[in-house]
Amino acid sequence: MKFVRIFCFGDSITLGCNDSQGLGWPGRLCCGLKHGDDEVAGYNLGVNGDTSRDIELRWRTEAAARSRNGPGLMLFAFGFNDAAKADGNVVQVDLAASLATAGRIMSAAQSISQILWIGPTPLDESVNPMQTDEASWEMRNAEIEAYDQAYAALARDIGVDYLQLFPEFLSSPRYQAALAAGDGVHPGDDGYALIAERIASWEKWLEHV
CA dist., res. 83 & res. 106, Å (int): 19
CA–CA distances in Å: residue 198 to residues 20, 34, 157, 168: 20, 19, 23, 10
CB 115 within 8 A of CB 77: no
Counting as low any pLDDT under 70, the low residues of the chain are: 1-3, 36, 69-70
pLDDT at 3: 64
pLDDT at 15: 98
**pTM score:** 0.95
pLDDT at 48: 96
- Domain total for the chain? 1
pLDDT at 34: 79
CA dist., res. 129 & res. 185, Å (int): 11
pLDDT at 69: 64
pLDDT at 70: 65
List the CATH number of the domain containing 165: 3.40.50.1110
pLDDT at 39: 80
Domain coverage including residue 136: 5-206
State the Cα torsion 140-146-147-152 to the nearest 10°: 140
